[in-house]
Chain A
Amino acid sequence: MRVSRGTRLSLRVVALGYLFVLLAVPIGVILWRTFEPGLSEFIASISTPAARSALNLSLLIVAITVPVNVVFGVATALALVRGRFRGRGLLQAVVDLPFAVSPIVVGVSLIMLWGAGGWFGALDRAGFQVIFGIPGMVLATIFVTLPFVVREVEPVLHEIGQEQEQAASTLGANGWQTFWRITLPAIRWGLTYGVVLTVARALGEFGAVIMVSSGFPGVSQTLTLLVHSRYIDDHNTYGAYAAATLLMGIALVVLLLMTLLDRKRSDR
């Protein structure tokens, strides 16, 4: 398609303007408000006990979610691509469920399952608190981040096919050796990307987590919950901006890491 110079120019202006208004302005405002009173103010605000606890909790949830999603995500992707079993179509659809269902619904359903009056409520009554405890927040996060690894690894598995694995088996490798030496290295970039997306989403998840958290500052607040409670409950607008900036900073580091890895991938 040939586009005239004028059209091209105005398309560019529209695209940039759109990005500017929707992304750059809000982020800019937050950054500006955060650093306006100076760096020391910012550091003080993100190193209060509540903020430190929130950061730790967010990182803890990420640290549990990522390995779980890696193991089950790779296994599910393998089953979807290589498996010949009934119900594969159903599994395909189920994997995408977290994309389709609103996080708040996830929170509600978790309460119905694990809450004191829920199906697995016996656990709660026996003193192992899932809902309003860390396990509930982890469950909620795992649920909403479940598709990322599966959906990133699946196309790579399709693309590499099975011949390399079969070659390995004719050369004497058993299933486990084949997986570690052939399959895993072949899918590593897809897996990395899936992990990055999982981390970003796990850090940023709000709707599902707020439903199952007791929300006590310093106990069961993640960074997103901290931003929310500082702003809404404490009317500590500055604290909310500072926490949001911290959250954004972590996400930015993850994104940067991903871009670097991506560049390394295209080098090869």
Chain B
Amino acid sequence: MITVTSARKDYGSFTALDDVSLDIPSGSLTALLGPSGSGKSTLLRAIAGLEELDSGTVTIEGRDVTDEPPQRRGIGFVFQHYAAFKHMTVRDNVAFGLTIRKRPKAETAKKVDELLEIVGLDGFQHRYPAQLSGGQRQRMALARALAVDPQVLLLDEPFGALDAKVRTDLRQWLRRLHDEVHVTTVLVTHDQEEALDVADRIAVLNKGRIEQVGDPVTLYERPANDFVMGFLGSVAHLGGQLVRPHDIALERDRATALALDAKVPDSPGVIDAVVERVVPLGFEVRVDLRADSGERFAAQITRRDAAELQLREGETIHARAVGRSSVVDHDPALAI
């Protein structure tokens, strides 16, 4: 377990971390998710000891490490831009932590070979980082971090510098690796899809504060506020409320719409809207709408529903919210 208590960090008059408290259970893969500049890296680096907190404490597996330097925290850290030791071969990179610890040569060699096999870099032992692709470099960096058997693995946007395909492959791979190795892992990302994809817990950060912590389903279905709702998936403004586009139903008949809407508590009501565009997205269809009030929003409905409705651009339709992902504390000030 990693416990951060009342962490605060100021850069001049700018507050990067504002009274952050967070528990990260042992063996979990937790994502720190938030927009750029929200303080994710600062928090991660504070856990690693690469950044000193102005106040607050960090404990790792029950040990208070607040005043310990990074080398005595039992961590592994992976940087966005790999931080490969350019003058060393892949083998020497991965062996670095063990060499520093003066482990016997044979033991080090065995461990390095094992790790290179796990990360799929078998046979690359004698290459230099410059001779590897971005994805390979990052896997080398992961092996290097894992070589010292860290209690926690900290990853700062590890796939951020890679192209989309490699990025999705590598995060699946990380997920599987985590299922095998079970090391407590904290992953920083600004990509909600990545967080939902790999993490079993997500902490959402915004402006140096934690907005909500929970498992992906809870955060998606019951966001604590408009910010979390907006950040974890797309939203539509419907009658002054935030609704997920696929939680909007469209009806041809106004009376039917009203009758069905009456069964939904706290609903925004039935909104009459003009169909502006119908966009097929594969399995689903996105319908761009303009309400009488002039407000634009989008609904996402299945292909079959769209076929039944026979939507034509320019006609008026009746929109209502169904089983919406309700925001627990509705605070319009946070709406994005």
> Are A167 and B71 in contact, CB atoms less than 8 angstroms apart?
no
Is B112 an interface residue, CB under 8 A from the partner?
Answer: no
> Are A166 and B70 in contact, CB atoms less than 8 angstroms apart?
yes
Main secondary structure of the interface of A (DSSP, over half): helix
> Are B75 and A163 in contact, CB atoms less than 8 angstroms apart?
no
Is B79 an interface residue, CB under 8 A from the partner?
Answer: yes
Min CB–CB distance B92 → chain A (angstroms): 10
Stretch at the interface among A50-58, A72-80, A169-177: A169-177
Stretch at the interface among B94-102, B223-231, B233-241, B247-255: B94-102
Is A185 an interface residue, CB under 8 A from the partner?
Answer: yes
> Are B50 and A170 in contact, CB atoms less than 8 angstroms apart?
yes
> Are A170 and B70 in contact, CB atoms less than 8 angstroms apart?
yes
Q: Say which residue of A164, A169, A172, A268 sits within 8 Å of B85 (CB atoms).
A: A164
Q: Which interface class (under 10, 10 to 19, 20 to 34, 35 or more) fits B?
A: 20 to 34
Which B residues lie within 8 Å of A186 (CB)?
86-87
Please measure, in the bound complex, the distance between the C-alpha atom of A168 and the C-alpha atom of B147, giving whole angstroms.
13
Is A31 an interface residue, CB under 8 A from the partner?
Answer: no
Which A residues lie within 8 Å of B216 (CB)?
none
> Are B77 and A166 in contact, CB atoms less than 8 angstroms apart?
yes
Which B residues lie within 8 Å of A163 (CB)?
79, 81, 83
Name A171-191 residues within 8 Å CB distance of B.
171-174, 177, 181-182, 185-186
Please measure, in the bound complex, the distance between the C-alpha atom of A78 and the C-alpha atom of B87, giving whole angstroms.
19
Smallest CB gap from A169: residue in B: B70
**In the complex where A170-B71, A171-B71 touch, is A164 in contact with B86 (Cβ < 8 A)?**
yes
Please measure, in the bound complex, the distance between the C-alpha atom of A177 and the C-alpha atom of B96, giving whole angstroms.
11
**In the complex where A166-B50, A166-B70, A166-B77 touch, is A171 in contact with B83 (Cβ < 8 A)?**
no
Please measure, in the bound complex, the distance between the C-alpha atom of A174 and the C-alpha atom of B48, giving whole angstroms.
15
> Are A185 and B77 in contact, CB atoms less than 8 angstroms apart?
no
Is B69 an interface residue, CB under 8 A from the partner?
Answer: yes
Is B246 an interface residue, CB under 8 A from the partner?
Answer: no
> Are B96 and A170 in contact, CB atoms less than 8 angstroms apart?
no
Please measure, in the bound complex, the distance between the C-alpha atom of A163 and the C-alpha atom of B156, giving whole angstroms.
12
> Are B148 and A182 in contact, CB atoms less than 8 angstroms apart?
no
Smallest CB gap from A164: residue in B: B83
Top-3 shortest CB links A-B? A171-B97, A163-B83, A167-B83
Q: Measuring CB to CB, which residues of chain A are less than 8 angstroms from any residue of chain B?
A: 160, 163-164, 166-174, 177, 181-182, 185-186, 268
Q: Measuring CB to CB, which residues of chain B are less than 8 angstroms from any residue of chain A?
A: 48-50, 69-71, 73, 75-77, 79, 81, 83-87, 96-97, 100-101, 128, 130, 141, 144-145, 147-148
